[in-house]
Amino acid sequence: NAGVTQTPKFRILKIGQSMTLQCTQDMNHNYMYWYRQDPGMGLKLIYYSVGAGITDKGEVPNGYNVSRSTTEDFPLRLELAAPSQTSVYFCASSYDGSKDTQYFGPGTRLTVL
Amino acid sequence: DAKTTQPPSMDCAEGRAANLPCNHSTISGNEYVYWYRQIHSQGPQYIIHGLKNNETNEMASLIITEDRKSSTLILPHATLRDTAVYYCIVRLTGANNLFFGTGTRLTVIP
């Protein structure tokens, strides 16, 4: 199993550009999550999904969109990039949401200039 | 909010036990204590979790006080590869996410 994979590893965007961060898991997990981590801080939840076709907002959803058309994939979309979105983005998955372990991907480092 | 308090940093000599404390004085009866760690620039890695009994796995031991207001993560023989930020997290019942604070930066010294 590859676990949770994320692409790209690094990206630089100009203000106003858009992009999609990809996340795929091969563990047949129902739950998937997107977090962001600013320098020196802990992770903050952006969006999560409890299954294909179902998504919900987390703590910091503004400026982002997600979709979950399959169990495996959970892409994160930035429509109009802003410098405040410069961060490291982590995708995670778990089989069950209530107390199951979350498995994290390696992260995408995004810089918006 | 993370509902936990951890020291910002700690040092530990290589080969010695690392004891990382965490206060969670407002924990509810059905909330679990989780520990994750994040090695530089990598995604967080699950270590261990518990409700009220002490727990041990191949990575670490978790000691939870009887009143559940605090806990200690023990790495029995710290190695240089254990240098990381360690997060103590109280998992809200029924919640679908983890609230990360700023954690404890553990540095293992040769």
Looking at the complex, does the CB of residue A90 fall below 8 Å from at least one CB of chain B?
yes
Looking at the complex, does the CB of residue A112 fall below 8 Å from at least one CB of chain B?
no
Check CB contact under 8 Å for A48 and B102: no
Looking at the complex, does the CB of residue B101 fall below 8 Å from at least one CB of chain A?
yes
Query: Hey, what are B25's tokens?
Result: 């004085």
Distance CA(A18)–CA(A38), nearest Å, equals 20
Instruction: Pick the range with the lowest mean pLDDT from B6-20, B60-74, B94-108.
Output: B94-108
Mean pLDDT of the B95-108 span: 84
Question: A62: Cβ–Cβ under 8 A, 6 or more apart, which residues?
Answer: none
The percent of residues above 70 in pLDDT, for chain B, comes to: 93
Distance CA(A94)–CA(A30), nearest Å, equals 7
Distance CA(B77)–CA(B60), nearest Å, equals 9
Q: What is the pLDDT of residues A37-63, one digit of tens each?
A: 998 888 999 999 999 999 999 989 999
Mean pLDDT of chain A: 93
Strand, coil or helix: B104 = strand
Question: Among partner residues B46, B87, B94, which is closest to A101 by beta-carbon distance?
Answer: B46
Asked if the model's pLDDT at residue B1 lies above 60, the reply is no
Decide if A13 contacts A113 (C-beta within 8 A).
yes
Question: Among partner residues B43, B96, B99, which is closest to A104 by beta-carbon distance?
Answer: B43
Amino acid letter for position B106: L
Report chain A's C-alpha Rg in angstroms: 13
Distance CA(A80)–CA(B61), nearest Å, equals 45
Question: Among partner residues A35, A42, A106, which is closest to B102 by beta-carbon distance?
Answer: A42
Asked if the model's pLDDT at residue A100 lies above 90, the reply is no
The percent of residues above 90 in pLDDT, for chain A, comes to: 82
Q: Higher confidence at residue A100 or residue A107? A: A107
Which residue is it, tokens 């987390």?
A58
Question: A16: Cβ–Cβ under 8 A, 6 or more apart, which residues?
Answer: A80, A81
Check CB contact under 8 Å for A43 and B100: yes
Mean pLDDT of the B23-29 span: 89
Looking at the complex, does the CB of residue B32 fall below 8 Å from at least one CB of chain A?
yes
Mean pLDDT of the A65-84 span: 96
Query: Hey, what are B29's tokens?
Result: 């009866």
| pLDDT at residue A28, rounded to an integer | 93
| pLDDT at residue B69, rounded to an integer | 94
Strand, coil or helix: B84 = strand
Distance CA(A87)–CA(A41), nearest Å, equals 10
CA B108 to chain centre: 16
Question: A71: Cβ–Cβ under 8 A, 6 or more apart, which residues?
Answer: A28, A29, A30, A51, A52
Strand-pair category, B9-13 with B104-109:
parallel
- In this prediction, residue B100 has a pLDDT band, given cuts at 50, 70 and 90, of confident
Check CB contact under 8 Å for A99 and B96: no
Which residues of A are less than 8 Å from B103 in CB distance?
42
Query: Hey, what are A31's tokens?
Result: 């739950």
Which residues of B are less than 8 Å from A56 in CB distance?
96
